[in-house]
Structure 1
Amino acid sequence: MSIAIQGELGSFSHEAALKMNPQATILPCSLSAEVFAAVERGEVEGAVIPIENSLAGSVSEHFDLLLRHTVAIERESLLRIRHNLIALPGSTLGDIRRVSSHPVALAQCRRFFEEHSKITATPFYDTAGSVKQMMEAGDRSMAAIASAQAASQYGGEIVLSGIEDDPENYTRFFLIRRRDRLQPDAHPDKVSLAFAVENRPGTLVAALEVFASQGTNLIKLESRPVPGRPWEYVFYADYQLSDPEAADAPLKLLASHCSMVRELGRYRAAAGAV
């Protein structure tokens, strides 16, 4: 299976893609919009995208792109995020004076920088890309924070492992495919959807009451602004299914309260993270 990811080879998205499909051929893309376009045009069979981190929250851009493109969620997976200090082979902690990585990764390793005040944190566009840049520079005073996959991909050496502040650090990933190529799960227990309500008193409450009336466990709800329409919002929700046969009922009832309802995926919830 060919899978597109945003970022360089060796990124956490690369690791998540291989977890979902160990034999996958990975296509790295610079921008998330390129990932979705590659799926929609049929250049790849699917894409693996991060949608939510347990510490940093949701990847808002990916919600917007899910709604904009003719793709759907086929599977989800949880990945335990382990940040590693990676340097040139043979380098020691005492050699390092500058560490680069994605701003989110740097923020999740604040304790490391507090304990090593002589080391400067430098933001970079991508975790794996920071390892690639460091290896190309060949400077022992440089290091990067990234996954073990990135160290293996570019020949770096892990100086310190697990330097993240909080070990309960997980990212939820979606495997998305074009809707006409979707291979749905035979036993889904979770639905993701988007809906919009009219800007009138009580409309959002009425929409939420649909889930309560059906005994549906609504486990996630967040809003995103509608481009070009100030102060109007699209709501993204996840709900659990006790009975797959009952999945359609909330969607049908929502239609009577909403100006737009779109199912983004019906799949099995990830069992655990590795």
Structure 2
Amino acid sequence: MQTVSPAFSCDLKSLIQTNLTARYSHVNRKRVSVLCSYRSESFSFPNGIGSSRADWQSSCAILASKVASAENSSSITRGLADQVAAVNGHSNGSVNLSLVPSETKNGKPGLVQPLTNTDLSPAPSHGSTLRVAYQGVPGAYSEAAAGKAYPNSEAIPCDQFDVAFQAVELWIADRAVLPVENSLGGSIHRNYDLLLRHRLHIVGEVQIPVHHCLLALPGVRADCITRVISHPQALAQTEGSLNKLTPRAAIEAFHDTAAAAEYIATNNLRDTAAVASARAAELYGLQILADGIQDDAGNVTRFLMLAREPIIPRTDRPFKTSIVFAAQEHQGTSVLFKVLSAFAFRNISLTKIESRPHHNCPLRVVDDGSVGTKKHFEYTFYVDFEASMAEARAQNALAEVQEYTSFLRVLGSYPMDMTPWSTLPSEDA
């Protein structure tokens, strides 16, 4: 979080706006949005709060925790709203955050609606319940992962992976739980790119067995299905079963498994089925045409737990460390062999290697006078290895790796998920 401009010199109480929204009229609580202005200069609060970034974050958290007891708060002036700067290139006005259960429908509480980019006003939140952001809607596998990673937490659905990252950075959520790889579908490249773009830290991992179901509206038979929709990963993981169950159906990609189920229920599509979880069928009133349709019973997705601050590495339990690096200029991918050797010589096992295009330098040009000019693609490399940064062998390995790289970043050193896998369906998946 950047510091605040000296021009922004109003009293702290004027930053608070207590507001009830008709969208959440069934919830008996007040929602607060605290707007912050972002500039590069330092700022001193009138009541003596310090000017450092840490002081500002602490004061925001303390302020938000006291707001619940405030009966009457002053509204934010129009001039202050004009001072709110753009966040990640998007202009942000006075936005009310919708982080509690959603609107009523036919007199009954609805489901929590996903966060969107417009919801990401820089308003810190603080409370006794841990808020965990995930991508998708209620019933998604990511929701089950968030519940396993942080039991009894408040799950915050987000419509995009990037929104989940920003929700943690802007103090809307305390943690994020996002998928990075699946045992059948492979890596989720988007989240690897976002790990490098954002400054969150990996503080843990959780692995969820994926139990897919074929869902449709009540009364619909499998032979009446002409279209099957779901997330591309889910479709890839059930390709063989879908060819047998719905051989004449068209396969179409959707942005989320549970959202596909919601789409069918909302639009009353009797010719369309979705690949999603049993929990999604329960939430959206669909019937399960086929259960456990994943092509491999060992279908498991690995999720990362992200936070604003890293955890302290330990040596009393198995730890994993994730790094990202790029080769030195003109060295090319031959550096990868040297990097791997640094771990092999110290008996450190690698569990993951992933390469992604180097966005700042996608091509490397080599001029050979006798042959001509050659162009090679440049990559950044993501590596997971089984060792804690508290161990001397891990520190020595990274010290050697740093000699061969143009940049090296430790994404996190965190406990490994040692939970035994179960291929049986659960109520969350």
TM-score normalised over the length of structure 2: 0.60
Q: Distance in 2 between matches of 1:161 and 1:32?
A: 28
Q: Which residue of the partner structure matches residue 258 of structure 1?
A: 405
Quote the offset at 1:94 in angstroms: 4.0
Matched, 1:235 2:381: yes
Quote the offset at 1:178 in angstroms: 0.8
Q: Which residue of the partner structure matches residue 163 of structure 2?
A: 34
Quote the offset at 1:140 in angstroms: 2.9
| Counterpart among 114, 137, 142 of residue 272 in structure 2 | 142
Q: Distance in 2 between matches of 1:15 and 1:65?
A: 22
Contact 2:389 2:395 in 1 (8 A): no
Residue deviations 1:115-145, cap 9 Å, x none? 2323332322211111001111223332211
Contact 1:192 1:236 in 2 (8 A): yes
Gaps of 5+ in 2: 1-129, 363-376, 423-429
Q: Which amino acid aligns with 1:221?
A: I
Q: Which residue of the partner structure matches residue 21 of structure 1?
A: 150
Q: Distance in 1 between matches of 2:184 and 2:144?
A: 19
Contact 2:181 2:188 in 1 (8 A): yes
Q: Which amino acid aligns with 2:411?
A: L
| Counterpart among 113, 130, 148 of residue 242 in structure 2 | 113
Give % identity.
38
How many residue pairs are counted as aligned between the two chains? Answer: 272
Matched, 1:190 2:320: yes
SS in 2 for 1:153: helix
Gaps of 5+ in 1: none
- The CA RMSD over aligned residues, in Å, is 2.0
Written as runs of structure 1 = structure 2, the 5 A alignment for 1:167-178 is 167-178=297-308
Q: Which residue of the partner structure matches residue 126 of structure 1?
A: 256
Greater strand proportion: 1
Q: Which amino acid aligns with 1:44?
A: A
Quote the offset at 1:243 in angstroms: 9.2
| Counterpart among 62, 65, 68 of residue 194 in structure 2 | 65
Written as runs of structure 1 = structure 2, the 5 A alignment for 1:194-233 is 194-198=324-328, 199-200=330-331, 202-230=334-362, 231-233=377-379
Q: Distance in 2 between matches of 1:176 and 1:101?
A: 26
Q: Which residue of the partner structure matches residue 249 of structure 1?
A: 396
Quote the offset at 1:244 in angstroms: 4.7
Q: Distance in 1 between matches of 2:219 and 2:213?
A: 16
Max Rg structure = 2
Q: Distance in 1 between matches of 2:176 and 2:267?
A: 31
Quote the offset at 1:167 in angstroms: 1.6
Q: Which amino acid aligns with 1:127?
A: T
Matched, 1:165 2:274: no
Q: Which amino acid aligns with 2:140?
A: S
Q: Whose relative contact order is higher, 1 or 2, with alpha carbons under 8 Å and at least 6 apart?
A: 1
Contact 2:229 2:252 in 1 (8 A): yes
Residue deviations 1:186-219, cap 9 Å, x none? 4352111111121326433222221122221122
Q: Which residue of the partner structure matches residue 220 of structure 2?
A: 91
Q: Which residue of the partner structure matches residue 55 of structure 2?
A: none
Change beyond 3 A, Cα 1:226–1:43: same
